[in-house]
Amino acid sequence: MQMLRTLDKLNVDNSYARLPEHWFQRTSPKPLKNAHLISFNPRVARHLDLDPCQCNPDQLVNYFAGLQPLPGSSPLAMKYTGHQFGHYNPDLGDGRGQLLAEVINQRGERWDLHLKGAGQTAFSRFGDGKAVLRSSIREYLVSEAMVGLGIPTTEALCLIGSEEYTSRLGMEPCAMLLRVTQCHIRFGHFEWLYYTKRHDELKQLADYAIQRFYPEALQADNPYLAFYQMIQAKTASLVAYWQAYGFVHGVLNTDNMSILGETFDYGPFTFLDAYEPDHIANKNDDAGRYAFFRQPAIVHWNLACLAQALLPLVEREALEAELETFMNQFEVQLLQRRKARLGLLTTHPDDAALIEKLWNLFKQNRTDITRFFSAIADLSTEQLSIENLTEFTQSSEQHWDAWLKTYQQRIALEMASEPIRQQQLRSVNPRYLLRNYMAEEAIREATQGDYRLVNQLLPVLRHPTEAHPHLQRYQEAPPDWAKAICLTCSS
């Protein structure tokens, strides 16, 4: 039986603080003025053995707005480097976030508490170390949305607002977000130690990461190669999820890549409203390096950067051989995710061709794939027709008709009964997705001091396949004004 605790009685440690001192800066959060609680996530509290019913809002504000140190915490800002838009930057690190502590729960899991918007650190460069309400709301909501979709991600326990302002897109209110995940180590941590030729320390970091996150690698002939193989496998699975659900990260730098294969460091992300493979979420990305269709190749490139950093520990030939398997790993995972969205759980020779034709139709029609799959999940096999999918098939009806007939024939090869098939379809096809305009509406209201929509969206995103009648409008096509939303690195 899980024994729940109060905030001041959590089982707190910080193993990273026992690593070499020059790997981080010891620091403390800078308090926000007139801080107040915007939202609290009881689901995430359970990771920490934290009792949601005994979570005092004032305590949350005190500990996670920098007013009072969390008992047992040892705040630090991590040093790392990374490749940003393809160029190595040696000056990176936690510039506006601080790792407060690790909470050890009764299952023996360690969960990092990382406070974003905690103020200037040694790695802030020219920044003020603050986070604004706009970007904090977006990360808070999308973290829950990704959990609802089953996509690996960092999570967030709470969101704190304030009456303090800073300059971004004009003067904007400041906020703090408590990010929760089991690991904050990035590809860039290894790059820093590799490029500064601290190879003994590189081994020390790898040993720490293996023991804490990948202990099964210790059974391999070369634990460091096994460590890399596991990271690559998780990362291939992650990007397959992104491509299957139309998620665009926006800033896939190596310092934004987690060794746990989680979606990490949300910035100008988006879910595609219309299927456009060349969509660029980040308007600062002039060359389109991080366009949606390029994400698998960019992730592959980032994994090559990590492999390069591990050369002092693993032979080049072994790493290169592993890298060559990435695209196949990704494609196998992507086919599986896409088939699941169609209710196809068995394997047949023509499956890949069926999927490819569908995604070509999506591209030709600029289809809203979220609404398409949600519609498919509501239709029986006999109801699969152009008449019932008119909204998605108008521009190429002959091609759609041919595809639908082939799909019906393929469904007939599945073993599941019709009710089971529709239940499976609904389980992986959300009615709701965090579209940019939804986040924008929540941001606009929150900026005026009204946090109701932020809190109303949280359970909808947590359970996106269920019906939520009070917010049913979010199942409909996005409004025309949504096309004008502009996202940049400040998002």
Active site amino acids: 255
Residue 50's beta-bridge partner residues? 5
CA distance 123 to 113: 19
- Is there a contact between 319 and 227 (Cβ–Cβ < 8 Å)? no
Whether 206 and 313 have beta carbons less than 8 Å apart is answered as: yes
- Asked whether the CA dihedral 138, 143, 145, 151 is positive or negative, the reply is positive
Q: Check: CB of residue 149 under 8 Å from CB of residue 245.
A: yes
